[in-house]
Structure 1
Amino acid sequence: MNFLSQDKSSSRPNKAIIILSLWVFAILLLGFTFRTSLDEMITVWINVEEYSHGFFIPVITVYFLWLRRHELKFIEEFKHSLPGLVIVFIGLILLILGGLATLKTVEQYAFIITLTGMFTIAFGLPGLRVGAIPLLFLIFMVPFPQFILNNLSSKLQLISSWLGVEFIRACNIMVYLEGNVIDLGIYKLQVVDACSGLRYLFPLASLSFLCAYLFKGPFWQKVLIFFSSAPLTIFMNSLRIGIIGIMVDNWGTEMAEGFLHDFEGWIIFLICMGLLFIEMWLFSRLSGRKVAFNELVLIPTEWSGDTKQGNPDIRFNKSVFLLMLLLIGAAIASHNIEGRKDLIPSRKAFLNFPLQLGKWEGRNDYLNQYYLDVLKLTDYVIINYTQPESGNHINFYSAYYQSQREGVSVHSPKSCIPGDGWQITQFGQRDFPDFKVDGNALIINRAIIQKGDSKQLVYYWFQQRGRTITNEYLVKWYLFYDSITMNRTDGSLIRLITSVKAGENIEAADQRLQAFIKDLIPVLPAYLPGKNS
């Protein structure tokens, strides 16, 4: 009898090792299935400062789950794992759709969903309730798509510039603001992407989420703690810009450059963290609790569980084999999708674009190499057209992308216009039923922009595989849809600009651009492929 009991007890560790080995293999299989999207995400963490905190996010998630491991129990019955299998299936479908649409962000969110499903398969819905917040925290490691970052950065630049100028003016310093350019007379400060505040916003948002999670207070206070990270970042970044402006005015331009400029950024981030803790301290006082600063964010003692309690039983669940089959199938499908290449329609190069359009005579212009590196376009054309008899001028620009994969896509003028001091004073859409593109009426964005006394009228639209689109987000939706249904992601931007002369009615400028479009539309199809190209 002693030998029998000894055999049974010794078989339990062996069984646990086998079960754990199966789960380790499933996790490795998950990493292999999502390898390309994970590799791209890590590349962003390394190269983009706004996401350099991404390495810490999974580590923190694992740490919190480990702390609460005594609350997790392996499930044994197959039926209890069904919710997890459904979540895994949804995640893998998103992976395949993201691969077809060449949207790595969709694939990266699919990874988090699939991982959450695997966690649910192992520990069931009770375990998911324990691990929901740590797993949700993983969304902060996924970089936003580039077009969202560009739009967000441009808006934050303008807000930070305006507030920064108000700080400078409060110190009785004469300053003039043109868009994101702060003119101090002796020096012009340009609030570029690096000064937009995104470098503070993303790490601070992650930190505030953790603080809200660990903060002992009502749910509404937790929500406010998290969402306060955005106004805190904007306010402190604007203060930093204002301080730099004041220092430049008093001690010279070196105050806005080099080590001092970067060091100020670290100081501002630390102040943001301090203000976040002050906010939590005030909330605790409001709730009638006198909590010391060092006790505002504490890991609950109950998470450590009973120190005498051993690790939970590791039970076998047959659903792990079905999970592996799903992951293997998704890995094969993902590999086949990666080998699929976009259909590249034939077209004429912009090098041959006519310099004579009706009565308009053109002269080529070119982009600086810096902008070419940023835009990553396939082909482009810039021509300054003039009517000799009237002296009217129109700047025509079109950028063409034969494949708009992740990080390579059309840039919206709405994000770029506010640079160099230009401001959008009026914005809207117009449609022209008489102008047809692939049989559809032309719809354009119309903007009036101003810089000092100078005023310009801008028309632009996105011509994407036979569609004329005015909304940047709709461009992304059709890119997703067409990459799946047509296996094409080519597309282009068309932008026209004309100066509004002093005393000229804006309607005259409108008529000038519309007359030019009438000559332009018949020429475009050879250079910008349509739906059936």
Structure 2
Amino acid sequence: MDTRDLPAKTAGPNQSDTSASTHHLRWQIVASVLVLVCFCALFWEWLYRQHQFSLNQIEDWGHAWFVPVIAGYMIWLKRGELAGKQRSVFWPAIAIIPASVAIYITFVIWFSNHMFQGYAIVLAALGTALFLYGPRVFPLLLLPIGYLGFAAKISQRPMEILTFRLQRFAAVGAEMLLEVLGIFFGYSTSRLGNTLELVDGDGISHPLNVAEACSGMRMVIAFLALGTAVALIVCKKWWQRVILIALSVPLAVGLNVVRVTVLGLLSLINDKLAQGEAHSIVGILLLIPGLGLFFGLTWVLNRIVIDSNADSTKSTKPAGSVRAWALRALPPTRAAITVVCLLLVSRIVFYGTVKSLRIQLQKDPIYPASGQAVSTIPRETTSWVQIGIDQVESSEVVEELGTQNYVSRNYEEKHAPEGREKRAVQLHVSYYTGQIDTVPHVPDRCFIGGGMGLKTAMHNVPLNLNISRWMLDDDVPEDWAGRIYTAPTSYFGSGNGNRVRLPLDPEHIELRLGSFTEAQRDETVIAGYFFIANGQVAASPDQVRLMAFNLTDTYAYYAKIQVTGSSTRGIQTEDDLVEAAEGLLSEILPDIMLCLPDWVEVKFGRYPPENTLKEQNTDPASAG
């Protein structure tokens, strides 16, 4: 038989279907990857800032790196259920995506807040999931995607309220445990506020928690995220999840008690074992027993009520081949491309808005033209002279302070009126630049954390500085006209009497003032502070964040200036401190300004040399 008479061989239906499904799957994969890439590109600035928070504050926010991995694992565990649900494109949900982007832009431009920006991103992810998979599949994705909220750094104010009080509980618990162990190891323990001190048998002191006394308890959100992950993955009943999540905070306190106790025992061997990286490693390692405790609690909760249908609630692997499952699990190609287009348009709108409003999403660091650190301010002025040596903080305290450019120096009056003793105060100046959402350390938090009691509530008091040598500066931007003065530096310092610009409206500087009690010394400590941020003065940390991180400024800096006195050094009342601060700052403020950038030069684009304003045809009065 001639083979030419045989019918041509054709592809069977199974082969044709397989080829078509493979082609369709490839497009689904490409579209899905594009959705992820465009989503990350739209919110890239936020992702980078969160990465910086996690990198610089690893004990508090290092867990954020693992939150997306845990969320993805939660979805993977539900792959069998997801494959069994009917997927459908839910067009009404597409409105959630631009609405979320609008919320994100609002909290970037008009009400800058990193936490709410993060929550807007989570809302955008939820809207994307609802649109691509429909209301039948969405309930399975709700909790894993919502869990991504743990990746957002919480704003400082609510964190202070939560963790500062928990830090006190942890310090008290650690004191009790260390006292018990001290019976066996031969040391004594004392506590002052959130700080602990161990004294060994040789009389050597080993302080603990000094650096973090005013920062609040570490790793609270990390333990809460860990407990929530275990609750969502392991627990099947809603009441079990509620109990486990509610126990996360008490467990965090308990493990911090263990953490401080371990650090205390290590300090008896070698102080360096309780400092620096070793200090952080101990905290991170406690996540391991923390995870074990959560699983132990889950085991107990599962034994309280025996579920006869427990086996049926376990995740099952999807039926069929991996290709068939992927076809059902990945979003439809056209719907995914729709999301890609929407995200691209959103990015164009977002950056168009940023450019039109001249907003700088990233701040560049800036340093004074003199190149001088704040520690170079004069040790003597016309009426004041340094006593003792500059206070040098430990590396842990410096790390907590957030800058190495600081000075803490004691000054005493050269002469005092007849019938009054000489007054002595400590002047503290610290300089910050190029940092993200840095929160200044202030006495009303740090002193209390160190064991002092608040005697009078913090309040603002005007500073009446000596203006006799001030001169109005005419070479200023139009919006600052009549509000900038120059004053001569001291001949005792490197300024050699040269005139420098003072901050905006220096006649309106207010000192934020408060009195504190030192119980162990029967002493009253009075402290007042203010800030200079981007050439302007502020009396509160909240004002600093608004000034130093003004969205239209390319650069950002702030300096904290604090004057502290005590009843043992001639400062009996708040009026005494204000009078001493006025006298010292009237003479030394120009020298402090020599160690800060001249913001008039920055606004004009004349400094620093790489300032882009000099290349723009813009009104310097409206740009920074």
Give the 3-state SS of the residue equivalent to 2:551 in structure 1: helix
The TM-score normalised by the length of structure 1 is 0.74
Q: Is the 8 A contact 1:205 1:230 kept in 2?
A: yes
Aligned to 2:198: 183
Residue 51 (structure 1) shift: 4.5
Aligned to 1:365: 390
**Using the alignment, how far apart are the partners of 1:321 and 1:271 within structure 2?**
43
Higher mean alpha-carbon deviation, 302-311 vs 74-83, is at 302-311
Give the 3-state SS of the residue equivalent to 1:137 in structure 2: helix
Map of 1:345-364 to 2, 5 A cutoff?
350=374, 353=377, 359-362=383-386
**Using the alignment, how far apart are the partners of 2:155 and 2:231 within structure 1?**
26
Query: Pick from 536, 561, 577: which aligns with 1:513?
Result: 577
Residue 395 (structure 1) shift: 0.9
Structure of greater Rg = 2
Residue 469 (structure 1) aligned with residue 539 (structure 2): yes
Map of 1:358-507 to 2, 5 A cutoff?
359-362=383-386, 365=390, 367=392, 370=395, 375=401, 377=403, 380-387=406-413, 388-389=415-416, 390-401=421-432, 403=433, 405-406=435-436, 408=438, 410-417=440-447, 422-426=451-455, 428-432=457-461, 435=464, 438=506, 440=508, 442-450=510-518, 452-453=520-521, 455=523, 456-464=525-533, 466-470=536-540, 472-473=541-542, 475-476=544-545, 478-479=546-547, 483-484=550-551, 489-501=556-568
* Cα distance per residue 1:346-372 (max 9 Å; x no partner): 898657756666743446836558466
| Structure 1 residues 278 and 302: CA distance shift in structure 2, 3 A | closer
Give the letter aligned to residue 47 of structure 2.
L
Q: Is the 8 A contact 1:160 1:234 kept in 2?
A: yes
* Cα distance per residue 1:432-489 (max 9 Å; x no partner): 357496565725141314262163222223444545333x45543x258x61256664
Higher mean alpha-carbon deviation, 346-355 vs 389-398, is at 346-355
**Using the alignment, how far apart are the partners of 1:70 and 1:468 within structure 2?**
58
Q: Is the 8 A contact 2:255 2:286 kept in 1?
A: yes
Q: Is the 8 A contact 2:463 2:582 kept in 1?
A: no
**Using the alignment, how far apart are the partners of 1:484 and 1:201 within structure 2?**
31
The structure with more helix, counted as a fraction of residues = 1
* Cα distance per residue 1:252-301 (max 9 Å; x no partner): 6369948999998688655544443454455556xx61479xx99x9933
Higher mean alpha-carbon deviation, 345-354 vs 482-491, is at 345-354
Give the 3-state SS of the residue equivalent to 2:191 in structure 1: strand
**Using the alignment, how far apart are the partners of 1:198 and 1:71 within structure 2?**
44
Query: Pick from 247, 258, 263: which aligns with 1:228?
Result: 247
**Using the alignment, how far apart are the partners of 1:74 and 1:33 within structure 2?**
26
| Structure 1 residues 199 and 375: CA distance shift in structure 2, 3 A | closer
The TM-score normalised by the length of structure 2 is 0.65
Q: Is the 8 A contact 2:130 2:138 kept in 1?
A: yes
Identity of aligned residues (%): 17
**Using the alignment, how far apart are the partners of 2:280 and 2:376 within structure 1?**
46
Give the 3-state SS of the residue equivalent to 1:231 in structure 2: helix
Higher mean alpha-carbon deviation, 226-235 vs 30-39, is at 30-39
Higher mean alpha-carbon deviation, 231-240 vs 196-205, is at 196-205
**Using the alignment, how far apart are the partners of 1:53 and 1:346 within structure 2?**
36
Q: Is the 8 A contact 2:54 2:62 kept in 1?
A: yes
Residue 515 (structure 1) shift: 0.7
Residue 276 (structure 1) aligned with residue 294 (structure 2): yes
Give the 3-state SS of the residue equivalent to 1:429 in structure 2: strand
Higher mean alpha-carbon deviation, 257-266 vs 487-496, is at 257-266
| Structure 1 residues 150 and 432: CA distance shift in structure 2, 3 A | closer
Give the 3-state SS of the residue equivalent to 2:458 in structure 1: strand
Q: Is the 8 A contact 2:461 2:513 kept in 1?
A: no
Q: Is the 8 A contact 1:85 1:121 kept in 2?
A: no
| Structure 1 residues 435 and 152: CA distance shift in structure 2, 3 A | farther
**Using the alignment, how far apart are the partners of 2:114 and 2:404 within structure 1?**
21
Give the letter aligned to residue 566 of structure 2.
S
Query: Pick from 225, 233, 236: which aligns with 1:216?
Result: 236
Give the letter aligned to residue 216 of structure 1.
K
> How many matched pairs?
512
Give the letter aligned to residue 301 of structure 1.
K
CA RMSD of aligned residues (A): 5.0
